[in-house]
């Protein structure tokens, strides 16, 4: 379970998150939609402690985490994996080393156990035989999937996706969206997906949250969202319904 209580985040004079309140139940897949600059990515980065809120609280699995030290936050990051907008793979390392990176730091495993986990994680995202390649040697879509494998290798209880399909072609976009759904259900994780993709949200989300200017405009199940008369929601829906 994740809960945001009165979350405020400012950058200089600009308020990005404006007293946001949101509760996400265990096992839920929640899509957070909104136009650019409404604070969607900032919300995720506050969750994993990359940013710290100026006010408000973040509760993760019954623990208030927003004021934890960088060291104590490691425990949160172990259960809360994040997939970034960019693949964010380390160019100097092979795919194997990239996926093993978190395992070597978070868990005390032997090299053979690490090798098994890497193989298993790559299989989860339908990749095999690319362990020795370096990120620039594989396609962008594959890099995104390796990035996903690197995150799921740690078996997190919460998965955060920051615009996971940005820059992908429609076919790969569908494949990645399907993968998000499949992984979330198979691993029984709580997932928050930040996206612009209403079509995908209607298809796989348990709940859709619409953000504007750092606050929630509306939220509901896909069928509730479809019936919404709010102009911003209709704007997102028009493209899908067309």
Partner 1 sequence: MSRIFFIFDEIGGALLFLKEILGGLVRRPCRWKDVVDQTWSVTLQSLPTTAMAGFFVGAIMAVQFTLQLRDFGALGYLGGLATSGTIREIGPLLIAFMLSGKVGAFTSAELGTMKVTEQIDAIRCLGADPFQEIIQPRFLGIIISSSLLLGLGLLMSIGGGMFLGGIFAGVTSEEYLRHIPTILAWPSVVLGFFKCLLFALILATICTYKGYMTIGGARGVGRSVVETAVSTMVAIVVMDWVASFLAEIVFTLVRETL
- Binding interface with partner 1 (CB under 8 A): 45, 48-50, 74, 77-78, 81-82, 84-90, 101-102, 105-106, 147, 150-151, 154
HSE-up of residue 88 (Cα within 13 Å, Cβ side) = 15
Sign for the CA dihedral angle at 105, 111, 117, 122 comes to positive
Judged by beta carbon, residue 141 or residue 204, the one nearer partner 1 is 141
**Smallest separation, CB 217 to partner 1 (Å):** 27
Determine which helix (DSSP H) or strand (DSSP E) holds 161, and give its type and residue range.
Answer: strand 158-162
Judged by beta carbon, residue 90 or residue 137, the one nearer partner 1 is 90
3 state DSSP class of 229 = coil
Instruction: Please say whether the beta carbons of 118 and 96 come within 8 A.
Output: yes
Judged by beta carbon, residue 82 or residue 237, the one nearer partner 1 is 82
Instruction: Please say whether the beta carbons of 146 and 125 come within 8 A.
Output: yes
Q: Which residues contact 55 (CB under 8 A, 6 or more apart)?
A: 6, 7, 8, 19
**Smallest separation, CB 213 to partner 1 (Å):** 22
Judged by beta carbon, residue 11 or residue 116, the one nearer partner 1 is 11
Beta bridge partners of 31: 193, 208
Judged by beta carbon, residue 40 or residue 45, the one nearer partner 1 is 45
């Amino acid at each position: 379970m994740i809960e945001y209580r009165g979350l405020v985040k400012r950058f200089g004079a600009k308020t990005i998150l404006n007293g946001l309140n949101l509760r996400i139940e265990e096992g839920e897949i929640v899509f957070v939609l909104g136009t650019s600059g409404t604070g969607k990515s900032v919300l995720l980065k506050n969750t994993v402690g990359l940013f710290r809120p100026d006010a408000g609280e973040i509760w993760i699995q019954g623990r208030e985490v927003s004021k934890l030290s960088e060291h104590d936050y490691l425990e949160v990051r172990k259960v809360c994996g994040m997939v970034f907008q960019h693949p964010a793979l380390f160019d100097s390392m092979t795919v194997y080393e990239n996926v093993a990176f978190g395992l070597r730091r978070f868990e005390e495993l032997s090299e053979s156990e690490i090798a098994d986990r890497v193989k298993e994680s790559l299989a989860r995202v339908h990749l095999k035989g690319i362990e020795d390649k370096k990120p620039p040697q594989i396609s962008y879509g594959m890099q995104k999937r390796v990035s996903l494998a690197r995150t799921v290798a740690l078996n997190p209880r919460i998965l955060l996706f920051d615009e996971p399909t940005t820059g992908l072609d429609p076919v790969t976009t569908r494949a990645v969206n399907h993968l998000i759904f499949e992984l979330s259900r198979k691993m029984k994780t709580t997932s928050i997906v930040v996206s612009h993709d209403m079509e995908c949200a209607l298809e796989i989300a348990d709940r859709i949250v619409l953000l504007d200017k750092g606050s929630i405009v509306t939220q509901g199940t896909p069928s509730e969202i479809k019936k919404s008369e709010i102009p911003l929601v209709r704007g997102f829906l028009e493209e899908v319904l067309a």
